[in-house]
Amino acid sequence: MPQANPFSSLPELRADAFATTVRVPELRNVALTSRVEAILDHPAFQRLRRIRMLGPTHLVYPGAVHTRFEHSLGVYGCTRWFLQSLGRLPQLASSLSEEDLLSVLAAGLLHDIGHYPFAHSLEALHLKGEDTPRHEEVGGRIIMGEFEGLRGQRTIAEILRRDWGVDPERVIGLCTGALGEKPSQVDRLLNSIISGTIDADKMDYLERDSHHIGVPYGRTYDRERLLANLTLNANEDGLAIAAKGKVPAEMFVFSRYTMFSEVYWHHTVRAASAMVENAIAAFHSRAQLDPEDFLGTLLRCDDEQLLGWIFDQSPDPSAPRFLLGGLQTTRRRLYKRVATFSRIYAERDKQRAYETIYAMERAQLFDLTARLSARLGSALNMPLHPAALIIDIPPRDKDRIDTIEVVYPEVRGRRHYPLHELSQVVAGIQDDFIAVVKKIRIFAEPTLAARLRELKGLDDLLLAEILKR
């Protein structure tokens, strides 16, 4: 007897198999089965209700208070859409097993299980010469039940084995991208659904962040047409887009570009993020913290509790207290721009300043900040608090927007093309992202910023110190 097609028989992918749905913005119903609910109800997953999706962004966009819990539900829902679309491809319908489908659905649901407050900011700091544990790695440890307070009556690994019938280690690999030395073709494909140029994670956060923030940018692509044209790349180990989906794919890439340009790296959002990063870095440099104890604190706290804990643990007038005082909702005093550097600027000195700062390690950046503070304090004839000035460099791990293959199935000759070769829009976005969007900014405490704006020759003074003239 022929085996049933798992795309049509699996309850998680059937429209008629659900007794429960949960509603998430925007007007989206996420259908649940009992084994999905078993994970949702786990204390490690419920913890995500207290972790903001966008950290301090709510201080700039008041609606940005949505959580990793909501996003994780959304990614699970998007993973279902991806699989339902891919199920129409004969080669996948016959080659993917029920275990394969359940493994990637679980990965979509659990991909952010390791997030803690301000995780992306902490991961960028490389504190005390050691990388802060990446949230993906922490997620794997949570799934395996390594943290006593997050084990629940059963670990998530046990739920995956017994209720889902899948290997927890494989699910962790799909979440982290650590697929082993010789990953299978199937696992490479499944991982591309979770992490790729066009994937379930980005599809959800672009739309969700856009909705909560109150901007249109993350929702300006044709989702239905994009999903309808998902296909396989030339190696059949990753997602691609059929030619009819080229324009929605361009729009998707452009949506991500505009969200970074206008929201994630908006100058005031970057000011708030830089204040958090520098407060934590200053605290960590002085505190005698065991890495595991610090991680335990991160996993126990929500955003406000973590900042409050650091504030309370820091003496007055230390850098953490100075910085975090301006992030309190009762006394919002975000730092202001006093200088901006970009690769696109025509002035050669400003381009050199950008490249000089961008290449700096954290210790060099601290030294430059101290030298700038001393020089500016001398020019103003006033001492500056060591934390009154911040140099903000956008994350270095986003130096390129990856492309995706476009497939022309009916043509003779070459059938697979990178999207950026077919689209000047996408090629331009890749260049523009690095040259224009990735700005380096110098921020100052508001009162100091007002004084600096009145200082004649500020740009020349800054450039002279940065370039050591």
Choose the weakest-confidence range: 101-110, 185-194, 218-227, 276-285: 276-285
Q: How confident is the model at residue 15 (pLDDT cuts 50, 70, 90)?
A: confident
Residue 336 pairs in a beta bridge with 444
Contacts of 125 (CB under 8 A, 6+ apart): 132, 277, 280, 281, 284, 362
Q: Is the pLDDT of residue 207 over 90?
A: yes
Query: pLDDT digit string (tens) for 395-448?
Result: 776 666 678 999 998 888 889 999 999 999 898 888 888 888 889 999 999 999
The pLDDT score that the predictor gives to residue 397 is: 66
Q: Give the separation between CA 288 and CA 285, rounded to whole angstroms.
A: 8
* Helix ranges restricted to H, 111-199: 119-123, 135-143, 156-159, 168-176, 185-194
Q: Give the separation between CA 46 and CA 69, rounded to whole angstroms.
A: 7
Closest CA to 420 of 281, 241, 285, 174: 241
Q: What is the pTM of this model?
A: 0.93
**Measured in whole angstroms, how far is the alpha carbon of residue 340 from the centre of its chain?**
24
The pLDDT score that the predictor gives to residue 434 is: 82
Q: Taking residues 222-228, what's their average pLDDT?
A: 97
Cα-Cα-Cα-Cα dihedral of 384, 385, 386, 392, to 10°?
A: -80
Q: Taking residues 331-346, what's their average pLDDT?
A: 90
Q: What angle do CA 103, 122, 294 make, to 5 degrees?
A: 90
The pLDDT score that the predictor gives to residue 297 is: 92
Query: pLDDT digit string (tens) for 153-184?
Result: 999 999 999 999 999 999 999 999 999 889 99
Question: Which token pair is 385?
Answer: 């608090």
Choose the weakest-confidence range: 8-22, 208-222, 344-358: 8-22
**Measured in whole angstroms, how far is the alpha carbon of residue 328 from the centre of its chain?**
24
Q: How confident is the model at residue 287 (pLDDT cuts 50, 70, 90)?
A: confident
| Single-letter residue type at 376 | L
The DSSP code for 436 is: I
Class of 6-266 per CATH? mainly alpha
Q: Give the separation between CA 116 and CA 48, rounded to whole angstroms.
A: 8
| Single-letter residue type at 164 | W
Task: Supply the mean pLDDT for the chain.
Answer: 91
Query: pLDDT digit string (tens) for 23-64?
Result: 999 878 899 999 999 999 999 999 999 999 999 999 999 999
Q: Is the pLDDT of residue 274 over 70?
A: yes
pLDDT over 70 for what percent of the chain? 96
The pLDDT score that the predictor gives to residue 127 is: 46
The pLDDT score that the predictor gives to residue 273 is: 94
